[in-house]
Amino acid sequence: MVEDDEDLAGRISRSLLQSGFVVERAANGDDGYELGLQGNIDATILDLGLPGMSGLDVLQSWRNKGITMPVLILTARSGWAEKVEGLNKGADDYMAKPFHTPELVARIRALIRRSAGVNESTLIHDDISLDTVTSEARLGSELLELTAFEYRMLKYFLHRIGHIVSQTELIEHLYPINETRGSNTVEVYIGRLRKKIGSDKIKTVRGLGYRFG
């Protein structure tokens, strides 16, 4: 999220965290631009009126570099001309302030689903289902008791069924940048998740990482 209003950024971050997201924040355009270059961002909320680089310049620079992550513009500029310009420069969605936070969270979920090629809010594979709206996960009809980290890990795997996911990729997507990261911790949570959903669901691909499904 690239937003210079500290109170607003805090409110949005809390809602996203409660919905199972990891949130990285930047308070100006220059830092936001650098954050987007990391390549491990699933979606971005971008203000237009930023200190340093403007939001539109940040967006245009990302797209010029071939960065395709979904971007939702969140701004006080609500005129149709501004919306057209933002969408033409590569934004995937556009919301004007003031706004309702649940709608913002729903739009972010939708952007991430579409970028992963998923159409439904409930992710399903075999007997596992995960409702990204209610944050409920089930094995068959049984409700799974997952920690916040296990929930994020399962959701990430369900978006990448059949793909090999490295430990580095998991660490980058499941931990905030300023939080201590360790491969041993990932292995521990993989083990815990296997116990809850079945040891056969997550395969270890030696030397490469893990494959779900």
The domain that holds 184 is classified in CATH as 1.10.10.10
In a domain, 69, yes or no: yes
Residue 196, CA atoms < 13 Å, CB-side half-sphere: 20
Q: Are residues 161 and 213 in contact, defined by beta-carbon separation less than 8 angstroms?
A: yes
How many angstroms separate the CA atoms of 43 and 108, rounded?
Answer: 7
Give the model's confidence band at 179: pLDDT under 50 very low, under 70 low, under 90 confident, else very high: low
Q: What average pLDDT does the chain have?
A: 89
83 and 138: one domain? no
Q: Which of 71, 96, 115 is the last residue of a domain?
A: 115
End-to-end CA distance of the chain: 31
For 41, how many CA atoms within 13 A lie in the half-sphere containing its CB?
A: 27
pLDDT at 158 over 80: yes
Band (115; pLDDT cuts 50, 70, 90): confident
pLDDT in tens, 21-38: 889 999 999 999 999 998
Q: Is the pLDDT of residue 168 over 70?
A: yes
Report the distance separating Cα 35 and Cα 44, nearest Å.
Answer: 10
Q: Give me the domain span that covers residue 56.
A: 6-115
**DSSP character at residue 144:** P
Same domain, residue pair 57 and 93: yes
* 140 and 109 co-located in one domain: no
pLDDT number for residue 177: 60
Distances (CA, A) of 143 to 19, 58, 158: 18, 42, 17
> Under 8 Å CB-to-CB from 170, ≥6 apart: which residues?
153, 156, 186, 209, 210
pLDDT band at residue 6 under the 50/70/90 scheme? very high
Tokens 């270890």 correspond to what residue? 204
Residues 87 and 126 grouped into a single domain: no
Please give the average per-residue pLDDT across 163-169, as a whole number.
89
Checking if the pLDDT of 118 tops 90, the result is: no
pLDDT in tens, 70-104: 999 998 877 778 888 888 889 999 999 889 999 99
Interatomic CA distance for residues 146 and 209, integer angstroms: 22
Write the CA distances from 4 to 9, 93, 150, integer angstroms. Answer: 7, 19, 31
The reply to whether 132 and 182 lie within a common domain is yes
Please identify, among 99, 115, 131, the residue that sits at the C-terminal boundary of a domain: 115
Answer yes or no: is 1 within a domain.
no
Percent of the chain with pLDDT over 70: 95
Q: What is the CATH number of the domain that holds 27?
A: 3.40.50.2300
